[in-house]
Amino acid sequence: MASDKNLAVAAGLCSGCGLAAWSFYIRALASVLGEDWMVYYTAIRTYFENNLGLLYDGDKLTALLNARLAEWHVHPLPLHPWLYPPHYLLLLLPFGELPPILSGALFLLLGFAGMVAASLAFCPQFKGRMICALSFLLCPATAITTCLGQNTFFTCALLLGGFGLIGRWPLLGGILLGTATYKPQLWLMVPVALIAERQWRALAAALATAMLLVLASAAVFGVEPWRAWFDVMVFPSALFSQWNMIARLNGQSIYTYAVLSGAPPLVANVLQAASALIAASAVWWCYRRPIPTEVKLAVLLAATMLAASHVIDYDALMLGIAATLIFVRSLDDGLHAGETLLLMLVWVSPFINPPSVFPIAFATPFLILAFIAWVMSREHRQTHFRAGSPAPEVQPGLIVPAIFGPRCRRSAADTPE
């Protein structure tokens, strides 16, 4: 079968790329392994040691990190501020009484297990579940997340779990989505999807959960951390300027691509806003239609990468998940070679980023747009086919490359022996 052939080719190539990515990042990040978890752990300890005043003082927090965890790294780390809203610290407190290495390993393990478990809602068959688990494990973004000790596994687990549950248990799904507000730039498309799909109970649960987390964090930490966070996020400061140079310009947001291409910051921000509108339009279109849940979520995850004002290559695990969900769904439909190639390029794209290091990364936004356009076009045709009406003609090249061509679900008679 064509799908089996595509599966074998994709599995072989992606496995090779994934193993190469793991080897590369372990070597490249050997001197800073766990550096992001160091920030989280140091922030947690400021609470237990009654030293929360350092939380949003980037220089002092970095100095404390370097002094406390010197054995973790070869040389002192540059500026590593805590820029998350205070309710993320509240969620991390259970890890604070463990040693840093053990707590970091547990944090990653629980997050990855939660992400895989949440994906089961979209993969009813054993074959699809195995593909998801192996794809998530080998994805280059997983290697980066693990080496740095980032929170991407938990973020993806909450998005997968939330949207996987809202169909049957909207309140529980909304609670998971509301918890994901600790990373607000990756939450932008969530309310767009919930409003478009008229998931009012899930939206209310998400907003109520976010508000309860804010109030709970204010009760535990006081209001001063919230005031400090708003000051950092809203008002110009030396800390934000330093972080912008160190982190944001080493990311892969549309703003970053524009600035590195020579655009002034004002133009880059306008382009970022325009990409967010395009992303929101795509999410709205999908969530207003009777499209399978995993397809909608794949578009939402890809669109989030375009809309977010700050994303780094570990956040691109969302692209790996999006490509995997579409690939698993397409096993019974069949994929052209060009379609399989597109999914593989989306999946492996974290390996060619950020643009500050790899010039080829400047193709990534166009790759994401091509993926979103192809998924929307494909589902539009299949919706017509499932409804019993002729599939609309699509001019190759107008929406997706001609190599993809029109495709609809195969019947048993079309399947080769």
How does pLDDT run across 399-416, given as a tens digit for each residue? Answer: 333 333 444 333 333 333
pLDDT at 384: 61
Judge contact between 313 and 403, C-beta under 8 A: no
pLDDT at 387: 56
- What are the average pLDDT values for consecutive 10-residue runs of the chain, which has 417 residues? 64 90 94 93 96 93 90 83 96 94 97 96 89 95 96 98 96 98 96 98 98 98 95 83 82 95 95 97 96 96 96 96 93 82 94 93 96 92 61 41 37 33
Q: Tell me whether residue 391 is in a domain.
A: no
Compute the half-sphere exposure of residue 227: CA atoms within 13 Å on the CB side of its CA. Answer: 6
Q: Tell me whether residue 415 is in a domain.
A: no
pLDDT at 43: 97
Sign of CA dihedral 140, 146, 152, 156: positive
3-state secondary structure 40-86: HHHHHHHHHCCCHHHCCCHHHHHHHHHHHCHHHCCCCCCCCCCCCCH
Three-state SS at 87: helix
Got the DSSP string for 314-358?
A: TTTHHHHHHHHHHHHHTTTT---HHHHHHHHHHHHGGGG--TTT-
pLDDT at 409: 37
**Domain, as residue range, for 272:** 2-384+397-410
Q: Tell me whether residue 416 is in a domain.
A: no
End-to-end CA distance of the chain: 8
Q: Which of 86, 312, 30, 100 is nearest to 216 (CA)?
A: 86
The pair of structure tokens assigned to 380 is: 């539009």
Q: Tell me whether residue 290 is in a domain.
A: yes
Q: Tell me whether residue 367 is in a domain.
A: yes
Q: Which of 113, 160, 120, 121 is nearest to 137 (CA)?
A: 113
Q: Tell me whether residue 392 is in a domain.
A: no
Q: Tell me whether residue 140 is in a domain.
A: yes
Q: Tell me whether residue 345 is in a domain.
A: yes
pTM of the predicted model as reported, rounded to 2 decimal places: 0.90
Look at the chain and report how many structural domains it folds into.
1
